[in-house]
Chain A
């Protein structure tokens, strides 16, 4: 059993990792909450956003990944909105299982387009502050991880405000709850759904900017986050922001402590096990409404 110092450091590491998971999962949960589908293209779109960050950082533009955040996020929103309008909403014929298949097809296309355009090579970006360490008690945390953790919290807060304080937020919630009813009161349901999809993908844009200073990108790098994001979304309760936030942090900690305790390989088993246990005990997730 590891010492308390190492345990504390592991806890901090888990929280930091959880921050990124939250960002990936929050987009997924929004899309689930409104469209009622699991977006299989989520990992591929994250990878695409990471390439965008990489290309902006590379010469000749030389844009810092944090400075690129507004651009990539806005671009990701536009891409998500258009994908929904041109493809997903259009071709799904209103059937959930068809949306699932289209997002599956989309992920195949995106992954291989990236492979074609960027080759299968692993790319990293090297920024001066990546090596800056901040000490939190016995734990040493890389500055970019602290930044991404804080940013994840801020983005969740902003999303929460967007959903409760704005008209579009209210419309999204109305569509999520009762699609037909929303249509009847004059809400443009298709537009709201496209907007939700756009916001979900925009979260990925932000996640990509926050990840790249310490991570890498290759055509398959997004998939590392998909399974875990699914887990968090169901764990927190599908469609629940609060659930995604707490679920993400919880999974980050479970992964970290599990890794310290059981080893990095077997420790991974903690994630699906906790997930299974929680769902068996609370079938709608931590914060999910009964469906």
Chain B
């Protein structure tokens, strides 16, 4: 790491810490939360999809499992949410391990792997809709009891800092991945799995480890979501929207890079907020809002068209690229 990059990183972190002070509004904190939280979820996707080349269309399964585990522990069994939180991560890790063992033992790769994660998420959604422990389609409502000891905060700024901590933590893991042997083995598997195995890398083991890690982190994210919104139902927990969101922010930002998910999430969230806001100001009732999402979609296409390596291509010419060097 060069000095300039260290300084830039430091400035970036400082800016993120100072953000709520500068924009002293709950709205800004809330937008900031969404940016960082989505970036965090994106990074968990990136660890598998970007660094190890294990593209998934159903990453939400980890998120949903984690969300339900901590919420059920809390709402049904009265466990303190802080204590329940590690169990969410454990549950996510377990699902990641299970999918990994089954899918990789069967030798699933590429689109087949992506689609099997999607199928597992569907199983999760239908099961959550049908079994009593999740209260089915009724969803689970957490009692509002805003005390820090209860993992609930009135002031959105606390959720902002929580998301910031998670996001930085996940970036640190991603950064380590680029520098450890484990990360190097994953990169080798991503680039050419057969060659990696010929070099003596146990690709099955490494991939399962990677998916377990990704699942644990993503599962922990599920708890944060429910603590903030105090409600979870099967389509929020296992809907395809969140899977796509994780994949989208990462790929748009730059898959396989440390800063990619954060950049992607920041830009897409900003574009989303601005277009939605503009849409609500256009004259005429009701009809203008779809236009704003059309603009959002067009911006998305434009980014892909002009920045084939993701937004990170704007910041570092070659330096940040891991994928298509």
Contact = CB atoms under 8 A, between A and B. Distances in A.
B115 A91 contact: no
B112 A98 contact: no
A281 interface: yes
B244 A112 contact: no
B241 to A, nearest CB: 11
A91 B118 contact: no
B106 A273 contact: no
Contacts of B110: 291
Interface in B99-124: 102-103, 105-112, 114-116, 118-120, 122-123
A116 B130 contact: no
B89 to A, nearest CB: 24
Contacts of A119: 287
Contacts of A266: 126, 130
A104 B248 contact: yes
A45 interface: no
B301 interface: yes
A113 B294 contact: yes
Contact of A276 (B119, B127, B244, B301): B119
A115 B289 CA distance: 9
A93 to B, nearest CB: 4
B126 A234 contact: no
B129 interface: yes
Interface string A242-279: 00000000000000000000000110110111011001
Contact of B304 (A91, A265, A279, A291): A91
Count chain B CB atoms within 10 A of each CB in A92, A97, A107 and give the residue with the most. A97
Interface in B291-314: 291, 293-294, 296-298, 300-301, 304-305, 308
B213 interface: no
A108 B296 contact: yes
Nearest to A110: B297
A116 B297 contact: no
Contacts of A90: 305
B240 interface: yes
Nearest to A100: B251
Interface string B278-290: 0000000001001
A241 B190 CA distance: 30
A102 interface: yes
B115 A231 contact: yes
Contacts of B287: 116, 119
Contacts of A171: none
Interface in A29-56: 32, 36, 38
Contact of B106 (A38, A93, A280): A280
A106 B301 CA distance: 7
B252 interface: yes
Nearest to A275: B119
Contact of A280 (B103, B122, B123, B301): B103
Interface string A86-125: 0100111101011011101111110111011001000000
B43 to A, nearest CB: 17
Contacts of A279: 103, 106, 108, 112, 115-116, 119
A95 to B, nearest CB: 6
Contacts of B105: 280
Q: Give the bracket for the number of chain B residues in contact with chain A.
A: 35 or more
Contact of B130 (A92, A113, A265, A281): A265
Contacts of A225: none
B188 interface: no
A268 B126 contact: yes
Interface in B238-275: 240, 244, 248, 251-252, 255
Count chain B CB atoms within 10 A of each CB in A109, A115, A268 and give the residue with the most. A109
A284 interface: yes
Contacts of B291: 112, 116
B251 A106 contact: no
A196 B13 CA distance: 48
Contact of A112 (B55, B251, B252, B297): B297
Contacts of B55: 97
A271 B122 contact: yes
A75 interface: no
B13 to A, nearest CB: 29
Contacts of A38: 57, 111, 114-115
Contacts of B120: 272, 276
B294 A91 contact: no
Nearest to B126: A269
B283 to A, nearest CB: 15
A39 to B, nearest CB: 11
The 7 closest A-B pairs by CB, nearest first: A108-B297, A91-B305, A109-B297, A112-B290, A105-B300, A272-B119, A105-B301
Given A91-B304, A98-B304, 5 more contacts: A102-B301, A104-B244, A108-B296, A275-B116, A280-B102
22 contacts: A36-B111, A38-B114, A91-B301, A93-B308, A97-B255, A101-B252, A101-B301, A102-B305, A108-B300, A111-B293, A112-B290, A116-B290, A227-B118, A234-B116, A265-B126, A266-B126, A266-B130, A271-B122, A272-B119, A279-B112, A279-B115, A280-B108
Interface of B: 55, 57, 102-103, 105-112, 114-116, 118-120, 122-123, 126-127, 129-130, 240, 244, 248, 251-252, 255, 287, 290-291, 293-294, 296-298, 300-301, 304-305, 308, 324
